[in-house]
Amino acid sequence: MPGEIRGNCVVIDDPGEASTLHNRGSFGAPLPGGGLELSLLEAVYLVEAGRLEVRREGKVLGMRELIRKASAAVDPFEIRYIVYRDLRQRGYVVEEREGPLDFQVYPRGGAPRKTPAKYWIAARSERSVFDLAEILARAEEASSVRKSLLLAVVDEESDLTYYAVREAEPRGQRPPPAVAGPVVVHFLGDRAMVVDEGQARALHSAGFFGKIVGKRLQLSLLETAYLLKSGLVEVRNADTERLLGLPRLLREARAIQPDFDLRLRAYEDLMGRGVLAKTGFKYGSHFRVYEGDPDATHAKYLVHALPRGHRGMWPEISRAVRLAHGVKKHILLGEVGDGVRYVRLERVRP
């Protein structure tokens, strides 16, 4: 069917053809008098599908010219079009949006003003910036109206990966740790140790802290700082037996690990939620997190702590999500600010 390009849209004037196209796919916006106005994304898709012929002043506009026109009007056209085309080919009705989100997607068989939207979609290039604060804001907005937020990321070969995004609230039932009297911990530089066998086993049993090595308990610096702040241990220099206060311990830890404060705040938040956080080094993350007994269950989450305002690149996110999926865990990105907010990303197939 013919359509005339007018400004940044294509208009189908014939009422019969306009009605047929709108009713069989919810394309375009009906016009007074029975015509139909198509966006340039819709027009390119319909021309490619052989259902539309675009004209300008009576002359047929070739696909090359139409795409040049669309690219000048829609930014970024190629990224948005690849996502639009894919969703349409999956059988969804797709409605374009203004603002930070690109599309509103209706379930198969649904239509605007007849059924609620199923997804909100943000189209992104793999070379675009991953803005954690922006992602959290979009996830919160979608959750408030009971929509599922998907990030559609287009790689350099125009393949698509969809990520479902939602805020997460990890929770467990672990009680606060308690021991009889402060346990003596010796500071060893990049870790700490409980030498007394009885105290070692008591502290480990109180919250699965550290790792029993022979008859001793080795603690990470994060665990040591957390336990010292909680008043459950006293820390001594392994060589001199002198007491180390929290300020000195934190200075030593920062010298070894510059992001120690960031990790400690995330660790404290997780422990305060009743879950157990252990190092996630073997999985390329800061923590692996258990909701129950780590000797009886597998870690449910991998958690990576990021500062408020973090901006990264999508390949980093892709690696983290893929790795977590490969070991049957969920990846949570923790934004550390006044508190800690967690966002969960998961590869999905819409």
Question: What are the residue numbers of the active site?
Answer: 290, 298, 329
Spatial CB neighbours of 350, under 8 Å, sequence gap ≥ 6: 87, 90, 92, 105, 119, 150, 162
- Tell me the β-bridge partners of 6: 9
Asked if residue 193 lies in contact with residue 216, where contact means CB atoms within 8 angstroms, the answer is yes
Asked if residue 46 lies in contact with residue 16, where contact means CB atoms within 8 angstroms, the answer is no
Q: Which residue has the tokens 């990790």?
A: 263
How far does Cα 283 stand from its chain's mean position?
17
Q: How far apart are the first and last CA of the chain?
A: 31
Q: How far is CA 178 from CA 59, 199, 260, 294, in A?
A: 82, 12, 25, 18
* CA R_g for the chain: 28
